[in-house]
Amino acid sequence: DMKEPANAVFPQVEFPAHQAQLGMTFYNGKQFPAKYQGGIFVASHGSWNRSQATGALINFIPLNANGTAGKSEVFAEGWLDGNGVYKGRPVDVAPMKDGSLLISDDYVGAIYRVTYSPN
């Protein structure tokens, strides 16, 4: 029976294997609803050596007032179709001064700008 080290620090958020989380940013903008403010956006580039592709999405992790991480959720997806074919591969995320979010995609050579409008 293996025992865990006495002072081990375990991750607060775990991601599926082979998704290749390449970029992350703390969202400091004010454009998106309050639940996103101060949280973390993570770009998952996607797998390259799995029989069933995974990833190619943007996750969001909220941060609690005490600094701990909340539950990860999918913020944006659609770069991987139902047949496992990549339509795009997110690399990084960056907030703009106006509060919108940029997502870079090295598969199609694009930068997407995500904005929020309450209506």
Domain boundaries, the chain: 21-114
Alpha-carbon span 56 to 77, nearest angstrom: 7
Instruction: Say what the pTM is.
Output: 0.90
Q: Over 80: is that where the pLDDT of 75 sits?
A: yes
Strand order in the sheet with 110-114: 90-95, 101-105, 110-114
Mean predicted lDDT score pLDDT of the chain: 94
pLDDT tens-digit series, residues 12-66? 999 998 899 999 999 999 999 999 999 999 999 998 888 888 999 999 999 999 9
Kindly tell me if the per-residue pLDDT of 107 is higher than 80: yes
The residue-averaged pLDDT of 77-91 equals: 94
